[in-house]
Structure 1
Amino acid sequence: MSALSGNNRFNARIKWLATATSDAWLQQAIENPIEVLIDHAHCERKAAGAAVQMMFRYLCEPGFAEALSPLAREELEHFEKVLAILKSRGHYLQALPAPPYGSALAKKIRRSEPGRMLDSLLVAGLIEARSHERMFLLASYSPDHELAKLYRELLESEARHFQLYLKLAQERFDKDLFTLRLKELADAEADIISVLHPEPRMHS
């Protein structure tokens, strides 16, 4: 596979992310479609759980339940969609060793409030933004037409998800604080993915 063109690279970039996904990740993902699909199912399941967990952690925060409950339902719908494709191809969920991505980002979340809320929203938003970027790449370059179609269908909702998390943060925190902390966490996220995980994962 040839390297991505500069134009497509630009289209795949998301302003919240500090760096673009590498050609090496795309090559790895395309060569291992089923393993990435299984991991994708786990990611959708975890995303639903994260939204529910945040909703209950901040149960009395105005606007959280109204925003996060529909998001969690949509993540589970995506999980079911990915699961259906796996089953149609003779596969099912299986345990996969997790890459360091999620746990490394979780360690960046401060433990005391209000920093914990801000960081939790920003980390969730960055994860969703990275998912959106990588689904765009898979939709554009996967030779498997069914999988390319799946990723195209998920793009709009994935964009809404990362925008929602960042909107919730922007509404609750000072602009300068929001901008500074987002940059810090985006830089940390970029550093985590700078070394390609040896096993193909959505967030390797």
Structure 2
Amino acid sequence: MESYSAISSLLQPIETFLQCDTPEEWLVEAQKPENLATILTDHLLCELKAGQSAMLLIKKYAVDQNSAVDLHHWLRPYEAFAYKNIGDLKMLKEQNNFSKNIIVKSDSPYSQQLIDKMVLLIKEELHHFCQVLEIMDKKGIVYQSIPASRYAKGMFSHVKTYEPDTLIDKLIIGAYIEARSCERFARLAPYMDNDIAGFYFSLLRSEARHFQDYLNLAQSISSKDILPRIQEFGRIEAELISSPDKDFKFHSGIPAQ
């Protein structure tokens, strides 16, 4: 497990980046034993969605059509489990990482950057998916699909509709999702059983790196300073986190009574 000083060092840029902390009301609700299944199930699905989002970016902006089809095959067993209850943990653990050659789009100046960062991210998110599912199995929590919270949709509704701003906005949103996940793992871990706490602390380093990768990619693609856009999405994200929310999930706002 990470030392206290290492955790503090990892969280410092995250806490500076986010415009609000997780509300205490959410933490109180998240600690309740009856909400453990929801927390873990939503976390499981968030890992898949993070992989899917990264995959969509690669498919749209970085690779040729054949490579896009091959990449999608990589995700299919996880999607089949999550959305159709096909397969099990043993089958998912036996899945191989993507190993085929990827053909880069010749007309995209940032294809290789996206591929280098996003393929690694997808591998890690799918590994985390299996780790969450393993914890659920140990806890006797039977997987049942649940609908997504308002969180990501609430940010994506503000994405600009012209390039490269569309891509830049999506990358900034990715940074906020990773940063908030990191912050919530750190806040929630002390209240969890030792196995979950240890797992959450183990995730901090990768989530913190993902947040930085998204921001660095966004700035490298933009011809102007993206700080104003980062701050705008920060306000949107903070509003979603700090306002009443009827749907309790891993990224939800203040639980509405």
Do residues 37 (structure 1) and 86 (structure 2) align? no
Q: For residue 155 of structure 1, what is the aligned residue in structure 2?
A: 204
> What count of residue pairs does the alignment treat as equivalent?
193
Q: CA deviation at 1:56?
A: 1.1
Q: 1:188, 1:80 → 2: CA distance?
A: 31
Tell me the SS of whatever aligns to 1:125: helix
For residues 51-91 of structure 1, give each alpha carbon's deviation from its aligned partner in whole angstroms, at most 9, with x where no partner exists. 11111111132311111001001000000000011011222
Q: CA deviation at 1:179?
A: 0.3
Does the CA-based 8 Å contact 1:99-1:197 persist in structure 2?
no
Q: Tell me which of 62, 74, 77 is aligned to 2:112.
A: 62
Do residues 164 (structure 1) and 164 (structure 2) align? no
Q: For residue 99 of structure 2, what is the aligned residue in structure 1?
A: none
Q: For residue 3 of structure 1, what is the aligned residue in structure 2?
A: none
Q: For residue 240 of structure 2, what is the aligned residue in structure 1?
A: 192
For residue 45 of structure 2, what is the amino acid of its counterpart? H
Q: For residue 54 of structure 2, what is the aligned residue in structure 1?
A: 51
Superposition map of 1:1-204 within 5 A: 14-31=15-32, 32-59=35-62, 60=105, 61-139=111-189, 141-174=190-223, 176=225, 178-204=226-252
Q: Identify if the C-alpha distance between structure 1 residues 51 and 187 changes in structure 2 by more than 3 Å, giving closer, same or farther.
A: same
Q: 1:153, 1:118 → 2: CA distance?
A: 29
Does the CA-based 8 Å contact 1:41-1:82 persist in structure 2?
yes
For residue 146 of structure 1, what is the amino acid of its counterpart? D
Q: CA deviation at 1:30?
A: 1.2
Q: 1:189, 1:174 → 2: CA distance?
A: 24
Q: CA deviation at 1:171?
A: 1.6
Greater C-alpha Rg: 2
Query: Which runs of 4 or more aligned residues in structure 1 lie more than 3 Å from their structure 2 counterparts after TM superposition?
Result: none
For residue 46 of structure 1, what is the amino acid of its counterpart? K
Q: CA deviation at 1:50?
A: 0.6
Q: Which runs of 5+ in 2 are unaligned?
A: 1-7, 63-104, 106-110, 253-257
Cα RMSD (Å) of the superposition?
1.6
Identity %: 36
Q: Which runs of 5+ in 1 are unaligned?
A: 1-7
For residue 77 of structure 1, what is the amino acid of its counterpart? H
Tell me the SS of whatever aligns to 1:18: coil
Q: 2:50, 2:60 → 1: CA distance?
A: 15
Does the CA-based 8 Å contact 1:55-1:64 persist in structure 2?
yes
Q: 2:175, 2:113 → 1: CA distance?
A: 17
Q: CA deviation at 1:175?
A: 5.0
Greater Cα offset, 126-135 or 27-36? 27-36
For residues 9-49 of structure 1, give each alpha carbon's deviation from its aligned partner in whole angstroms, at most 9, with x where no partner exists. xx676222111111111111111222101110000011011
